Every structure is written in structure tokens, then in C-alpha cells.
Amino acid sequence: MIQLEGLTKSFDARRVLDGVTLEVPDGQNTVIIGYSGSGKSVTLKCIVGLLEPDGGRAIVDGAVVSELDRDQLTELRGQIGYVFQFAALFDSMTVAQNIALGLVRRGYDGETIAERIAESLAVVELSGTEGKYPAELSGGMRKRVGIARAVALKPRYILYDEPTSGLDPVTSAVMDQLMVRTRDLGVTGLLVTHDMRSAFCVGDRIAMLYEGRIRQVGTKSEIQATTDPVVRQFIEGRP
Amino acid sequence: MRRLGVDSVPIAVFIAIFTGIVLALLSSYIFTGAVPLYFVGALVGKTVMMELGPVLTGMALAGRVGASIAAELGTMKVTEQVDALETLAYDPNAYLVVPRVLASALMFPVVTAFAMAIGVTSGWITAVNLLDLSTPEFFKGLKLFYQFKDIWFGLVKSASFGAAVALMGCLRGLDAKSGAQGVGQSTTRAVVLGCEAILVLDAFWALVLL
């Protein structure tokens, strides 16, 4: 389980996270929604140790992330796949090499790596693109390769940073299906987005991050029926 | 190593050719009427091997190699590729910095060796064709004060220049702020710091080894 306890984080004078507390149950997709710049991506990066919180704790499977040494953090990251907002594929590597990179680091043999590449590309419906470079792919395809790279590691958790950002409605729907399919494979998902259609399609639980804290958390139905004016305004998209 | 070293040979050779020409002409201007003209060979040899070969080559490569590394790593930084490496359990310093520093430290002396040879050759050709100096006289001067130390001093300096240039490129690149402007600023800063590092190291090695 992923647990966030009172996370705080500031950048210069700006307090972005001001006591974020949230539990991410296993086997479900939890969605964090919020305005642009509300700290959603910062929350994800605190979980995987890319950012160190100023206060509070991010706990993954009982381990406090900020207290782990380099080797322990490496071990933990093996259990967490991360899908970046713009995929963050390595430009100088092919699709296959991008997916293989994490597997090579973990010492898998060539045959296993080849199998995992094929499997993960099949999950994201991009079989046959192994030899292509990121520059030859569309934005949506790059994001799917990003998911494939995360899925190939067979992690327990996948963190998605704005996975449908910049995508057309059809491709966004394809991404949503992928995230649901990944959950159905037993992977716990934590997704940050301001795309409400995607949030309601993918999320089993939805939490709204507002002014550095979790404003409300609940099931999809609970959030859709909310009477909280801030949450209501956001999910309805009213200025 | 090919990108940092082999691809840099043309610019190093270009600089060395004109360095040799200018040194030959300059030394002729200085020495005429004062000392025998074969001292042109001594000055061209010593200066190219010990100083101008390593330093001018280093400066040119600081612009080429340092900027290239800073731009590449800066772009990786702002597009979250460095973060992606971390999430895949790679240490960015070990994966990105160390290979580049080692490659530069190995290849800068190789490129400088080319520059030394071309610079001396260029000086010889200039002396023979434009000055009143014969080939035996030029090489008499070249061998007059020559020591093997002249060559290895230049190459040791060059290796340190390579490491410094690559390190500056890596550090500034990994420190790039977001956007094209941030990458551009990091690249510029990497070149400037690389050149400054070369000058400081040049003085250091002169103090320590001479």
C-alpha cells in the first residue's frame, strides 16, 4: 500500500503541498485531481523519491521513502513503474531499447528481456514498433511506450503523471482502457490528472488536491454526488 | 568516444595548421637579426607541443564538446529523461557523467596529438616556403631544446582539459532550468566554465610539472 502522511513541500517561498494525507489501496486505480500547479506531479515524485518532502512521509509497503538509502530506494523503485507526462523516452534509443533499459539494470537475461518487450508492447497495442525511435512516434504512441516501459518491469504500482494530457479524445480513451487493463492485471495505479472524463473512467477512488491538501476523497459515485462547492466547481468545469 | 574525439579532429587540425603558420612567421619576425633563424624550429616545436597545441585545441573542443554535452544532458533534464533514469534504478552520475568524462579524458590527448603533429608540420612547410630556412635547419632548431617531456606534458594537460570540459558540460547540463532558454543558458555557461577550467589547469600544470 502507498500511504501519504502530512506531506509538505515548498519551492522557494511557495508552499505547494501543505499536509497531504492519502491512502492508495492495493488493486485499485486511485486518481488525484486538481488544478494546474496544485502539486499533483510533486506528490507523485515524492512517492518515488525523485523529490524529498520538507515534512511528512511517503510510505510504500511500510518503508518511509525519504529514509531509504540508495540501494533500498533502488529496490523500491523496482516495484514502482512511473509514466511521465511526456513519456520521457530516451531519444537515442529505439522503443525496444527504451523498454529494455530497466530490465537490463535488474539483470534479466536476453531471452526474458525480449519476451517482456513483446508482452508489454502487446499490452499497449504497439507490437511491431520495436525498432522505431521516439521521434518517429506520435505523442500518443510515445505515451503508450512509456506505459509499456513501466509495465515491462511487472511492478506492483504504476504512477501516471497526466497520461492523457495533450491527446485527442480517441487516443485518450485508448489510454484510459490501458490503465484499466493494467489495473485488471493486478497493478495498483495512482493517476494524477485534471481530465475529469479520464478520472471517472479510470478511477476507483478519486481525491481532489486543493491548496496543498486533500479536499475530498471518495469513490467515483461519491465524488460525482459531492456537495463540496470547490470539488463541484472543478468536476463540472465551471470557471 | 567517436563523437567526442574522432569527430573533433577536423577542427583541431584546422586550428593547428594556422597556429603553425603564424608561429613560424612570428618567430621569424622576432628572431631575424637577433639569433640564427633555425631557432624558428625550436619555438614552433616547443610552443605547439607544450602550450598552443593543448590549449587551443582544448578551447575549440570546449566549445564543441562541452556545448554538445551540456545541450544533450540539459535537454534530457528538462524532458524528465534524467528522472526516468532514476526511476529505472540508474544513477544519473554513473550512467551519464562518468562515461563522458572518461571518454573526453581519453580522446582529448588523441586529438591534441594530431594537432601537435599538424602544427609542427605546418610550421615547417611555412618556414621552408616563406622564410629563408631549409628543412635541415628547421629540424636542427626543432631538436635543439627538444625533450620527450615536451610531448607528454602537453598530452597530460590535454587529458585534464578533456575531463574538465566534459565535467563542466555534464554539471551545467544536469542543472539546466526548464525550457529552451534554460538549456541555452546552461550550454553557454558550460563553454565558459570549460574555457576557464582549461586556463586554470594550464597554469596549475606549469607550476607543478615545469
pLDDT of residue B102: 95
Residues A166 and A71 occupy one common structural domain = yes
pLDDT, averaged per 10 consecutive residues of chain A (239 residues), comes to 94 92 95 92 95 94 93 91 93 95 93 95 92 93 92 94 88 90 93 92 95 94 93 88
pLDDT of residue A36: 87
CATH number of the structural domain spanning residue A199: 3.40.50.300
Range of the domain at B18: 6-209
Is B129 within a domain? yes
Residues A75 and A101 occupy one common structural domain = no
Residues A63 and A167 occupy one common structural domain = yes
Residues A199 and A218 occupy one common structural domain = yes
Distance from C-alpha of A178 to C-alpha of A148, rounded to nearest angstrom: 10
Mutate which of B81, B82, B87 to test chain A, going by most A C-beta atoms within 10 A? B87
CB A90 to CB B84 under 8 A?
A: yes
CB B87 to CB A91 under 8 A?
A: no
Q: 3-state class of A171 per DSSP? A: helix
pLDDT of residue B123: 95
Q: Count CA within 13 A, CB hemisphere, residue B141.
A: 27
Is A87 within a domain? no
pLDDT of residue B35: 85
Is B170 within a domain? yes
Is B163 within a domain? yes
Range of the domain at A178: 2-79+157-236
Is A104 within a domain? yes
Q: What one-letter code names the amino acid at B62?
A: A
Residues A132 and A33 occupy one common structural domain = no
Greatest Cα-to-Cα distance within chain B, rounded to the nearest angstrom: 70
Q: Is B185 on the interface with A (CB under 8 A)?
A: no
Is B1 within a domain? no
Sign of the CA dihedral with B148 first, then B154, B156, and B157 last: positive
Is A183 within a domain? yes
- Can you list the positions of beta strands (E) in A142-201? 157-161, 188-193
Residue B81, min C-alpha distance to chain A (Å): 5
Is A85 within a domain? no
Nearest to A78 among B79, B80, B89 (CB): B89
Cell of A107: 539483470
Is A38 within a domain? yes
pLDDT of residue B1: 78
What ipTM, to 2 d.p.? 0.89
Residues A52 and A146 occupy one common structural domain = no
Domain boundary among A154, A181, A206: A154
pLDDT of residue A212: 92
Cell of A30: 486511485
Q: Vertex A204, ends A52 and A35: CA angle to 5°?
A: 50
Is B46 within a domain? yes
pLDDT of residue A167: 85
Q: Is B196 on the interface with A (CB under 8 A)?
A: no
Residues A99 and A140 occupy one common structural domain = yes
CB contacts of A89 in chain B (<8 Å) are: 81, 84
Residues A72 and A162 occupy one common structural domain = yes
Query: Which of B208, B58, B107, B210 has its CA nearest to residue B149?
Result: B210
Residues A162 and A220 occupy one common structural domain = yes
Is A142 within a domain? yes
Is A174 within a domain? yes
CB B80 to CB A86 under 8 A?
A: yes
Phi, psi of A102 (to 5 degrees): -65, -35
pLDDT averaged over every residue in chain B? 92
Task: Please list the ranges in chain B whose pLDDT falls under 50.
Answer: none
Residues A194 and A223 occupy one common structural domain = yes
Domain total of chain B: 1
Residues A66 and A100 occupy one common structural domain = no
pLDDT of residue B34: 83
Domain total of chain A: 2
Distance from C-alpha of A134 to C-alpha of A91, rounded to nearest angstrom: 6
Residues A63 and A169 occupy one common structural domain = yes
Nearest to A101 among B76, B79, B88 (CB): B88
